[in-house]
Amino acid sequence: MRVNVVTMFPEWFDGPLSISIVARAIEDGALVVELVDLREHGLGRHRQLDDSPFGGGPGMVMMIEPLAAALEPLKDTHRVLFTPSGEPMSQETLDRWAETNEVTFVSGRYEGVDQRVIDNFIDEEVSLGDYVLAGGEVAAAAAIEGIARLLPGVVGNPESTEKESFRDGLLEEPVYTRPADFEGWTVPEVLLSGDHGRIEEWRSQQRVERTRQRRPDLLRNRKDPDT
Ligand code: ADE
């Protein structure tokens, strides 16, 4: 799969692309990430990318020309703009992208992007959550990592991407490993019992209880109430 990233800060991605699962996906050839430096399409001697908003007001707006130049060659791909005004990114969003051959992520900066860019060059606007970051780079990196671990052959154990949080609409149960007793802090007895029926029942109860306490919205929206 190929991911194009249009950004003012290609060097920002050096870390996220060189570590752990994303680095492995790239090494294995399962994932190709193409960084498009928006600055190369900047206007004039100063390679200008932003200007003040028509109608006045604070902040700067990303101009249409540099983004049009960067996005025109990518018009046959699915183009996503990361912005706090977008729809929330979810596991379903990542599943959908991971099933395609190519996606283009645009990291917005400043107070916004000229609406004509969005109207003419963007297929989908997506937000990482209800908070404001300085730009879309963190969201693009989050999406790349979420996609990388879904690509065939990238995670060793396919079960581990199937059973986790959000797959069955519930949060994960707590997990423990050795030692069974750390300075008096013990592990729930059921997990040491060897009784797989009881263990599964306990895990299932924990998932439902955690979800009820922390994310009641997930229980209400759940698609498969039998799991
Ligand atoms: N850019 C700034 N804040 C953002 C957010 N919450 N999600 C996606 N892109 C952003």
The class level of CATH for 2-148 reads: alpha beta
Compute the mean pLDDT over every residue in the chain, rounded to the nearest whole number.
Answer: 94
What CATH architecture is 163-220? Orthogonal Bundle (1.10)
Nearest CA to ligand 1 atom 5: 84
Summarised one tens digit per residue, pLDDT across range 69-97 is 999 999 999 999 999 999 999 999 999 99
Summarised one tens digit per residue, pLDDT across range 196-208 is 999 999 999 999 9
Q: What is the pTM of this model?
A: 0.93
Residue with tokens 């379903």, as numbered in its chain:
92
Contact 89, 143 (CB under 8 A): yes
The residue whose CB lies within 8 Å of the most ligand 1 atoms, and thus the one to mutate among 5, 128, 137, is: 128
Query: Domain extents for the chain?
Result: 2-148, 163-220
3 bridge partner residues? 33, 103
Summarised one tens digit per residue, pLDDT across range 38-50 is 999 999 999 999 9
Query: Could you tell me the CA-to-CA distances from 208 to 64, 80, 224 in Å, in that order?
Result: 48, 34, 13
